[in-house]
Structure formats: C-alpha cells, structure tokens
C-alpha cells in the first residue's frame, strides 16, 4: 500500500525533533522558536497523521511554507518572521474558529516559547465590536448565499449539488456559532460534534448539523426543509443579538 503509512506517536515526535534541529542548523542564531501545532501538539495524532510546525526566523521576509512527503509520511513547516506570525495570529475572519487553533495551541519544542504565548493572547484579543461586523458579513456573504443556491437547486430540480451545498451551509453555520462563542474547534474530526454542544445556538442549527454528522443527505427535500429552518433560525438569532442582516444600498453608500 503506497501513500501514508502507520507510525507511532513516539516516532512522529522523533521526526519532528529531527526536523527542528535541521532547521536550526540551517538558520543558526536566526532561529527564534519552533513549535508543533495540530494533532501532534495535542497528542491526539493517529497512526497516519502528519507533522505540522511553526518556525520563527529573525529577518525572514514574510512567510514560507515547506510541505513535503518522504513517501510514507508527510510534514508541513511554516516559516515566518515574528511580525508576520503575530499579525496572522491577530487576524479575524469568519472562519476564525477553525483556523486559529493553529496559533493558540502550540507545543514549543525549541527556542523562546514566549512568541507562542503572545500569539495565543492575540488570537483571543478581539472585542465584540470587532466580531459583530465579521458575523454580519458571514451571515450574508456566506450563509445567505449558499441558502440561495440550495433554493435554486430545489426550484430547478437539479439535486446533484445538494450534498455539496449542504456541507458548505453547515461549515458556514458552525463558523458563525463558533466565533460568537469565542470557541476554537479542536480539529475537523470533531468540528460538528463540538458545534452542537456550544451554547446560544439558533433554532434549526442542531438538526441540520446532526444531519451532516450522520451523512444523511440522500433526501433532497428534507435537506431543503432543514436548510430553510436553519436560515430562519439564524434570522431570529441575529435579531436577538442585535446583528444587522438586511440593509439598502443608500445606507451603505452613506457609510463611506
């Protein structure tokens, strides 16, 4: 069998240490910090998991990603200047609850771990005033749009894309609820399980997400109905939290 092969956690950690030492030899004193993220950092890696690392290099221009496979295993090493690393940790986008565990939960293995502590602080350093417009944009720019695509599929009778659209709707929905709760999802394997346990969910959220978990997308009509309920729930949820969904062009132009 070609491709990923099974290895123990101990072997994976030994490889990570070897990678870190080789990087340090290459960059010398410019190597400021190296840390693991992802499943290996959480010590929840499976036999086929890869190695993921953040590396901070003094005076590096921007960011470089080294991603390779040596046949039976794979690694990804992200090289940054400290400034670029901290700037990325500070970013706030609609998928924050999925992307930023990589900056908040780092296991240092070499160098000054203080950089990683700073990154974690920046990940969570967002006020409600900063979060609200990101949520509003996600609700209209992402979820509203995909609900429209599902309704187009229902109207046209072209159901071949229903499962894909339902998956996107679920992903947008869990990102919105995760960001509102300031919750970073542990990994893609438990994303939806964690989402349905979060507080303050919209009506229709849990049934729709459970359908995704079950992979039960063979009945398009049921998916359409639950997607409608999901959007209606988010409308009520947004109103209850003072989030503005619907605006007109004149109002937007007047804000410029």
- Lowest model confidence (mean pLDDT) among 180-194, 196-210, 242-256: 242-256
Instruction: Report the first-to-last Cα separation within the chain, whole angstroms.
Output: 59
Q: What is the structure's pLDDT at 252?
A: 86
- Structure tokens given for 241: 């939290």
CB 58 within 8 A of CB 81: yes
Q: What is the structure's pLDDT at 62?
A: 83
**Residue 207 C-beta-side C-alpha neighbours within 13 Å:** 13
Query: Is 27 a member of any domain?
Result: yes
Q: What is the structure's pLDDT at 207?
A: 97
Query: Is 4 a member of any domain?
Result: no
- Structure tokens given for 71: 């046949």
97, 123, 149 - which closes a domain = 123
Confidence band of 250 (pLDDT split at 50, 70, 90)? confident
Is the confidence at residue 1, as pLDDT, over 90?
no
State the residue range of the domain holding 42: 9-123
Is the confidence at residue 251, as pLDDT, over 90?
no
Q: Tell me the pairing of strands 63-69 and 74-80.
A: antiparallel
Question: Are 18 and 82 found together in one domain?
Answer: yes
Q: Tell me the pairing of strands 31-36 and 107-111.
A: antiparallel
Question: Are 59 and 97 found together in one domain?
Answer: yes
Residue from 103, 107, 96 nearest 82 by CA: 103
Q: What is the structure's pLDDT at 146?
A: 98
Q: What is the structure's pLDDT at 255?
A: 87
Question: Are 81 and 67 found together in one domain?
Answer: yes
Average pLDDT, the chain: 96
d(CA 12, CA 17): 9
d(CA 230, CA 169): 9
């Amino acid at each position: 069998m070609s491709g990923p092969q099974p290895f123990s956690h101990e072997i994976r950690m030994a490889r990570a240490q070897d990678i870190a030492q080789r990087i340090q030899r290459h960059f010398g004193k410019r190597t400021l910090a190296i840390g693991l993220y992802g499943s290996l950092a959480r010590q929840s890696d499976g036999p086929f998991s890869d190695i993921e690392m953040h590396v901070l290099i003094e005076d590096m221009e921007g960011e470089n990603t080294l991603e390779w496979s040596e046949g039976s295993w794979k690694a990804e090493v992200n090289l940054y200047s400290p400034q670029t690393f901290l700037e990325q940790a500070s970013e706030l986008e609609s998928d924050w609850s999925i992307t930023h565990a990589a900056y908040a939960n780092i296991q240092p293995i070499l160098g000054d771990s203080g950089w990683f502590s700073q990154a974690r602080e920046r990940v969570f350093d967002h006020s409600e005033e900063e979060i609200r417009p990101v949520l509003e944009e996600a609700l209209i720019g992402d979820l509203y749009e995909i609900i429209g695509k599902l309704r187009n599929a229902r109207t046209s009778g072209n159901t071949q894309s229903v499962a894909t659209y339902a998956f996107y709707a679920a992903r947008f929905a869990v990102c919105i609820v995760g960001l509102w709760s300031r919750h970073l999802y542990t990994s893609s394997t438990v994303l939806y399980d964690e989402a349905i346990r979060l507080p303050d969910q919209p009506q229709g959220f849990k049934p729709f997400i459970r359908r995704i978990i079950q992979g039960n997308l063979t009945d398009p009509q049921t998916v359409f109905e639950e997607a409608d309920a999901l959007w209606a729930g988010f409308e009520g949820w947004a109103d209850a939290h003072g989030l503005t969904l619907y605006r007109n062009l004149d109002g937007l132009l007047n804000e410029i």
